[in-house]
């Protein structure tokens, strides 16, 4: 058995495993009802599924140009997925889509109240300056 046969088999296994994780992600996003659960389901297994699929393609194709392209795809996904999940969670919290009574740790309430208080004070100061 040559190493190319082993690489093809391992690549096929990676492609199937990545596809299964992507399917699980799609199902979980449809099953879960609250924003934070959906957000978690959309980022965690999806990133691992993408990494497995890109590894499978790299093992099957075995072309250095394609391999480096796949590495860039994985790197950009690993960089952007946590940032986008953070922004979606924060926006959902600010718009009231998150049930804060179900949170174990809630670090945003104080920040949100402080920013709302500051916005009201700035608006009051701007309204006071406009009357003069």
Tokens coding 9:
């088999």
pLDDT tens for residues 4-60? 999 999 999 999 999 999 999 999 999 998 888 899 888 888 899 999 999 999 999
pLDDT tens for residues 106-124? 888 888 888 889 999 999 9
Q: Cβ distance 25 to 45 under 8 Å? A: yes
Q: How many CB atoms lie within 10 A of CB 9?
A: 13
Q: What angle do CA 78, 14, 29 make, to 5 degrees?
A: 55
- Residue 126: its H or E element: helix 108-131
Domain ranges of the chain: 3-100
User: What is the rounded CA–CA span in Å between residue 127 and residue 132?
Assistant: 9
């Amino acid at each position: 058995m040559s190493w190319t046969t082993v690489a093809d088999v391992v690549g096929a296994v990676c492609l199937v495993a990545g596809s299964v994780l992507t399917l699980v992600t799609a199902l979980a996003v449809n099953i879960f009802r609250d924003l934070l659960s959906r957000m978690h389901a959309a980022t965690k297994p999806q990133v691992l599924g993408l990494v497995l699929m890109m590894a499978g393609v790299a093992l099957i194709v075995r072309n250095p140009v394609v391999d480096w392209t796949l590495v860039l795809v994985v790197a950009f996904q690993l960089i952007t997925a946590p940032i986008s999940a953070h922004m979606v969670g924060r926006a959902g919290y600010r718009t009231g889509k998150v049930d804060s009574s179900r949170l174990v740790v809630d670090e945003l309430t104080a920040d949100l109240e402080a920013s709302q208080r500051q916005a009201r004070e700035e608006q009051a100061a701007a309204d006071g300056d406009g009357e003069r």
